[in-house]
Amino acid sequence: MVNLTASLRHCYKKLLLIKRFLTIVIGVFSISASVQAYTLAELINIAITSHPSVQSQLSLIQSADASIDSAKWSFFPTPGFSVQRASASDKDPQFANGNNQNDTIYTFRLSQPLWTGGRLTALLDRAYASGEYSASSLRLTRKELSLRVLQYYSSIVSNDLRIQAIKRSLAEHEKLKGLIQRRIKGGVSPEGDLTQVIMRMDQLQADLLNIETSLMASLETLSQLIGQPLTLDKVTSEISRHIPINSQSTDLLIEAYRNDPTLERLEAQIKLQQAELSVTQSYLQPDVSLRMERQYGSFYNPDFYGGRIPPLTRMYIEVGSNFGAGLSSFSNIEASRLRYESAIADLESGKRSIAEQIQVAHAQYSTISHRIDTLNESLMAAQEIQMAWERQFLAGRRTWNDLMNAVREINQIDLQIADAKAYQIQTSWQIAIVSQGVESVLRKQGFQIGQEATR
């Protein structure tokens, strides 16, 4: 028993050294950043406006706008200009002026499509669909970032509350340790009771170390998401409340179908594939265009040289085809049709996924408040039991193990309350973001995207 106690104390000292190191690391973060508390809404707002992935999506939106302008210009005439110069002998029958006269031709052209089988319209539709796809991708990126911020924020809140619970339990164990030491000194309790307390405290210290490590990891990840250094005080000094969810799951689902960017992007993908199908089908149609030319100079008529004959003006009606090699056009049409059907199936799959998220989250949120109330009542009852058993232990009617188990029960309930409170925040915000959209949620919190909170 003595060797076991010595070994436990040695492990305890090692845990204390690691804990002190973590405390120093957290202190470095505290020194490097000014004290400013962030709410969850502020953290989300910073992430969805400054993160590089958002900036990338904004550039893609600008690119899509440029593509729309390019598709619109396809309906306008296409200008062209060419210069031809030849060198031939005087005896060459194909060139009337030989090597030194009228050896350069200048031609100006203007071509206007008259009929393309709907290809120009389909290309414009594809450009618009691509723009919608880029815009919905931006909203989807913001949603995913906000959910990641929410995840790590909830983890920090949970771990912070768990640390407080363990520290309360350590303080209670320290009090019991003093009690049992006095009883051992008085000869009324065995040494094994002290060993039991020390073992429980060592286990709590180990749990505390694990939670603090997890807390630091979540804090660092959250710092990277918002691009700013964070300390624990900045996050937990003003813990955000959960968002009350009063709607039924069916109403939330209707909202999600209307607002969720995942479904918006899938709908844009359908439009994109539909336009692509129209483009490939148009290649089976002939192209009809009007072309006008004005030519200065001629290789074959010497009278052009010196201005004896004015420049020539011509007008053409051109009919061409874009069938492609063999029957490749039909294969391309079939491939486009299958991609279009796949996009429709993806939308249905996305709706089912959103429905599952909403229904599961709503069911969990509906019970979490009752669970917190029940746990609080259980905590009060466990505390009363502990005080009663402590009195009964001193009176000799309860064992030391009964009292230690009562203290451990309080700690376990306290930890469950910490997890439940953090989960209530996470679940309610998740439901709001998925059903209403992160932009709407932030507006209700006093934000516009990229602006400071109104306080």
Which amino acid is it at 180? Answer: I
d(CA 28, CA 147): 28
d(CA 38, CA 291): 65
Domains and CATH numbers, the chain: 2-76+116-286+321-437 (1.20.1600.10)
Which single residue is written with the structure tokens 């502990």?
A: 386
- To 10 degrees, the CA torsion angle through 227, 233, 235, 238? -140
Instruction: Give pLDDT tens digits for 187-218.
Output: 888 999 999 999 999 999 999 999 999 999 99
| Order of strands, sheet of 312-320, starting from the edge strand that comes earlier in the sequence | 78-85, 104-115, 287-296, 312-320
CB distance 90 to 98 below 8 Å: yes
Residues in Cβ contact with 79 at an 8 Å cutoff, skipping those fewer than 6 apart: 108, 109, 110
d(CA 22, CA 143): 33
d(CA 127, CA 272): 8
Q: Is the predicted pLDDT of residue 231 greater than 60, yes or no?
A: yes
Instruction: Please give the structure tokens belonging to residue 293.
Output: 């030319």
Q: Is 307 exposed, middle or buried (0-12, 13-18, 19+ CB in 10 A)?
A: exposed
10 Å Cβ neighbour count for 407?
21
Read off the pLDDT band of 219 (50, 70, 90): very high
Instruction: Give pLDDT tens digits for 282-297.
Output: 888 888 999 999 988 7
- pLDDT for the residue 307: 57
- Write b or e for each residue in 373-398: b if 16 or more Cβ atoms lie within 10 A of its Cβ, otherwise e: eebeebbeebbebbeebbeebeeeeb
CB distance 368 to 423 below 8 Å: yes
Read off the pLDDT band of 2 (50, 70, 90): very low
CB distance 263 to 347 below 8 Å: yes
Half-sphere exposure of 447 (CA within 13 A, CB side): 21
d(CA 309, CA 301): 9
Task: Report the chain's mean pLDDT, rounded to a whole number.
Answer: 86
Q: Please, which residues bridge with residue 109 across strands?
A: 80, 293
Instruction: Give pLDDT tens digits for 344-390.
Output: 999 999 999 999 999 999 999 989 989 999 999 999 999 999 999 99
Instruction: Give pLDDT tens digits for 268-285.
Output: 999 999 999 999 998 888
Instruction: Give pLDDT tens digits for 76-126.
Output: 999 999 998 777 666 666 665 544 455 678 899 999 999 888 889 999 999
Q: Where are the alpha helices (DSSP H) in 187-230?
A: 191-226
**Terminal CA-CA length for the chain:** 61
pTM equals 0.81
Characterize the bridge pairing of strands 78-85 and 312-320: unpaired
Instruction: Please give the structure tokens belonging to residue 416.
Output: 């469950």
Q: Is the predicted pLDDT of residue 238 greater than 90, yes or no?
A: no
- To 10 degrees, the CA torsion angle through 430, 434, 435, 441? 70
What is the rounded average pLDDT of the residues 254-267?
Answer: 93
